[in-house]
Amino acid sequence: MKNQPTEYDYHYRIWYCYWLEIMTETLNRRTETAMNATMLILGAIVSGSNQFSWLLGLVIAILSGCRVAWQYGKKAEAARQQAKRYGKLLDSMHELTLTEIKVRLDLIEEFDSIPLCSLFNPARNRACISLNIRHREHLSSHEKFISFLSGGIPQ
């Protein structure tokens, strides 16, 4: 017979999912903001008409295409809403039975965002910090960079 998850396992899972959504929201929001700022700056430069206007116009078109295709703003908002749901579950967790926690968690997890794989270990580390666990996953340089862009890891 397979071991059933304990209350501690659920607490960890909820914290992990919460931080994964927070980091996903932050990364997507910052990406959207950076793309918007870049497009505004390049648009202003293009309006000044110089010899490289065609190149700047091409960059603006590519950035616009990326924004439409990947919809970073919508992804950020969906992750923010999901993080709120996990936050509410974290707030009410001490009042719920294990069965109620499982039911609510299963319901909330249906709407999880699709995060970058590079956020998995940083989110695990944040969950460990939230639960006062000493264990930390080793982060590759890529994970450290993505983690930095999505809010960092507290020490």
User: How would you write 1-49 as a 3-class SS string?
Assistant: CCCCCCHHHHHHHHHHHHHHHHHHHHHHHHHHHHHHHHHHHHHHHHHCC
pLDDT of 129 higher than 60: yes
Residue 121 within a domain: no
Tally of structural domains, the chain: 1
Q: Is residue 110 part of a domain?
A: yes
Does residue 154 fall inside a structural domain? Answer: no
pTM value surpassing 0.75: yes
In a domain, residue 19? The reply is yes
Question: Quick check: is 93 in a domain?
Answer: yes
Residue 122 falls inside a structural domain? no
Q: Sorting pLDDT into bands at 50, 70 and 90, what band is 26? A: very high
pLDDT for residue 74: 98
Residue 56 forms part of a structural domain: yes
The domain in which residue 104 lies consists of: 7-114
pLDDT band at 155 (very low <50, low <70, confident <90, very high): low
87 inside domain: yes
